[in-house]
Amino acid sequence: MTTNEEMLGRADVNDLEAILSITSKDVDELVHAVKDNADALFTWNYEKGERPALNKLYEKAKGAQWNGETDLPWETPVDIEMVVANAPRDQDSDPVFVAAQRPGQPLHNWGQKEWDQLIIESQNWTMSQFMHGEQGALVCTAKIVETVPWIDAKYYAATQVMDEARHVEVFAKYLDTKMNGHYPLNAHLGMQIMVEGLALAAFGFMHQLTEEPLLKKLLRYVMSDEARHVAFGVLSLKEYYAELTDAEMLERQQFAFEAAVRMRDRFLQQEVWDRMGVDVRTMVRLQLENQGDKNEDPFQQLLFSKIVPNCKKLGLLDRNDGWLRTKFGEMGVIQFEDWVDTGEEYEAMSLEALAAESA
């Protein structure tokens, strides 16, 4: 597959009809099956520490476990009115909202009540997708334990299974006990480098914005785990990718591009507009038309500032005559290639760093 139509099912990355045609078909299901055909790999080489960087990460992970029930102050009352009052107001500066408030557009007659409700619904939606994504990471990490060939990687991946279970637990508890439940899974929610990088960026963005103390602490704990997860992906895949042929690398470049587009599509938050009684088609069209050539949305900038450097460190940008570099250039995100990759920054997000911040 080499064309957008073959990879994405549409020739134009911003094809409105194609984006809206992807919907969740199992909203009311409690169990959803996904088939895979991955082999479970055993190794009879139990020599711990043959890969020192992975062994160091495993040792760090063992000492970085935290308890979602006892380490977070769940007794903290969550004041939704305070959350709304402290949230940034960008309806008069964001080009999407400016366009949506023009006469005849969906948000033209909105007052303070509607803007306040949008803040609540957007936070609920965002955290709901965090929760669903963490379950995806939980399942995928369990598969990583099965499929990696090295004992050091299996040891580390086992700690990540526990991390992901804890993340699902705390997001579900926050949504159910401090907010009003959760949104269903977004159809575009697609793991290690791409989705974990997305998670780290998303948690960091919300951590910067929120003044709600329980959520702020919850996110900071989760971020300490997520940075370590992405570091594992960078460490383990860098060695593996170095041995791949151009054809095998092209498959991974195409996957990275498709995943980046799907994640961009996810943040059009169609479900929020629908719940707010806003015409979804018009709002998504306005979002696509007003995103700009340089992807000026602050959250998407933060997202790609994690993903692009990690892809560069893995050699994905420049193999096959710079195929992925060209695609990221077309998306307006290649400018992030020299930002710090997560393999280098996870120490700064550790529990030790968190303790120092709190002191």
Asked if pLDDT for residue 87 goes beyond 60, the answer is: yes
Whose structure tokens read 């508890």?
173
Domain membership of residue 344 (yes or no) is yes
CA distance 100 to 118: 14
Residue 219 near residue 207 (C-beta atoms within 8 A): yes
Cα separations in angstroms, 196 against 220, 303, 307: 15, 10, 9
Q: What is the mean pLDDT of residues 102-116?
A: 94
Residue 62's nearest CA partner among 187, 196, 159, 185 is 159
Q: What is the mean pLDDT of residues 159-173?
A: 96
Domain membership of residue 23 (yes or no) is no
pTM of the model: 0.81
Over residues 25-55, the pLDDT tens digits come to 666 777 878 788 889 999 999 999 999 999 9
Domain membership of residue 80 (yes or no) is no
Highest mean pLDDT among 5-19, 101-115, 234-248: 101-115
Weakest-pLDDT range from 91-105, 193-207, 277-291: 193-207
Structural domain count, the chain: 1
Over residues 193-223, the pLDDT tens digits come to 566 666 777 788 788 888 899 999 999 999 8
CA distance 118 to 107: 11
CA distance 279 to 225: 38
Domain range for 245 is 51-60+90-358
Domain membership of residue 44 (yes or no) is no
Domain membership of residue 42 (yes or no) is no
Phi, then psi, of 39 in degrees rounded to 5? -80, 145
Residue 306 near residue 230 (C-beta atoms within 8 A): yes
DSSP string, 315-342: TTTTHHHHHHHHHHHHHT-GGGTTSPPH
Give the dihedral of Cα atoms 97, 102, 106, 108; nearest 10 deg. 100
Residue 351's nearest CA partner among 166, 185, 183 is 166
CATH code of the domain covering residue 168: 1.10.620
Asked if pLDDT for residue 326 goes beyond 60, the answer is: yes
Residue 28's nearest CA partner among 184, 261, 235, 147 is 184
CA distance 87 to 303: 20
Residue 122 near residue 269 (C-beta atoms within 8 A): yes
Q: What percent of the chain has pLDDT over 90?
A: 45
DSSP string, 128-147: HHHHHHHHHHHHHHHHHHHH
Domain membership of residue 246 (yes or no) is yes
Domain membership of residue 2 (yes or no) is no
Domain membership of residue 186 (yes or no) is yes
Angle at 222 between CA 302 and CA 238, to 5 degrees: 65
- Looking at per-residue confidence, does 294 or 179 come out higher? 179
- Looking at per-residue confidence, does 298 or 205 come out higher? 205
pLDDT of 310 reads 83
Quick one: 11 exposed, middle or buried, by C-beta within 10 A (0-12, 13-18, 19+)?
Answer: exposed
Cα separations in angstroms, 139 against 99, 117, 161, 330: 40, 33, 8, 33
